């Protein structure tokens, strides 16, 4: 992976989100900015993280929403229309513990069979960190505040509300692991 995948990801995400979903685009840009900052702890996977951060919410694009579950719709779009890298599509499909939300939606088996979890814990945690420490407007936040915001926006008893409360301990753990890795990494 290199800068070319980052440029390509930016072009694709811009085309799908910039005009149709400006707030989602702002969030995406903030997540990408965080990925650039976190990248050095990942070495050769830094560009893959930046591309995944840039594309993680692409499935929200109205043009791409088939199932209504953005991680699955986005990953399918990247695989089917762009023949995207398998690691990238698996990161997008499973970002921020999407498998738990897929379960809430009755899509767990579909997601798990098409896009198995990536066996790269640091990379997976880094994407969770970038997503879950960025507000809908692209600003920095804490994981605790981000989860509270998501529950507030969707409601406690919604699919997303139930999912995010279930995922919260895993999200906090992933964010903690990245914060520890960042603190230990020489600048």
Burial class of 108 by CB neighbour count within 10 A (0 to 12, 13 to 18, 19+): middle
pLDDT confidence of residue 170: 97
pLDDT confidence of residue 93: 98
DSSP 8-state assignment for residue 85: -
Alpha-carbon distances of 12 from 16, 50, 68, 74, 122, rounded to whole Å: 6, 13, 19, 11, 25
Q: Around Cβ 62, how many Cβ atoms within 10 Å? A: 8
* DSSP percent split of the chain into helix, strand, coil, nearest 5: 75, 0, 25
Per-residue pLDDT of the chain (187 residues; tens, 9 = 90+): 477 999 999 999 999 999 999 999 999 999 999 999 999 999 999 999 999 999 999 999 999 999 999 999 999 999 999 999 999 999 999 999 999 999 999 999 999 999 999 999 999 999 999 999 999 999 999 999 999 999 999 999 999 999 999 999 999 999 999 999 999 987 6
pLDDT confidence of residue 178: 98
Distance CA 6, CA 22 (A): 20
121-132 and 159-184 helices cross at what angle (nearest 10)? Answer: 110
Using the structure block, give the residue that is written with the tokens 């996977």: 45
151-160 CB contacts, 8 Å cutoff, 24+ apart: 159/101, 159/104, 159/105, 160/101
Alpha-carbon distances of 175 from 10, 66, 108, rounded to whole Å: 24, 30, 24
pLDDT confidence of residue 17: 95
- Chain-centre distance of CA 170, in angstroms? 14
pLDDT confidence of residue 3: 76
pLDDT confidence of residue 107: 97
Distance CA 86, CA 88 (A): 5
Q: Which two tokens stand for residue 32?
A: 């990408």
């Amino acid at each position: 992976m290199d800068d070319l995948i980052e440029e390509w990801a930016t072009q694709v995400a811009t085309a799908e989100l910039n005009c149709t979903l400006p707030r989602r685009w702002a969030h995406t840009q903030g997540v990408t900015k965080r990925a650039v900052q976190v990248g050095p702890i990942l070495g050769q996977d830094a560009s893959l993280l930046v591309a995944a951060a840039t594309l993680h919410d692409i499935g929200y694009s109205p043009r791409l929403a088939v199932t209504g579950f953005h991680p699955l719709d986005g990953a399918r779009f990247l695989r089917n229309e762009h023949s995207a890298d398998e690691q990238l599509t698996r990161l997008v499909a499973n970002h921020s513990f999407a498998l738990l939300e897929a379960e809430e939606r009755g899509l767990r088996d579909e997601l798990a069979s098409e896009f198995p979890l990536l066996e790269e814990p640091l990379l997976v945690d880094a994407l969770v960190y970038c997503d879950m420490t960025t507000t809908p407007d692209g600003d920095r936040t804490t994981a605790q505040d981000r989860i509270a915001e998501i529950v507030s926006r969707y409601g406690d008893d919604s699919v997303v509300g139930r999912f995010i409360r279930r995922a919260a301990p895993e999200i906090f753990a992933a964010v903690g692991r990245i914060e520890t890795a960042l603190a230990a990494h020489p600048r």
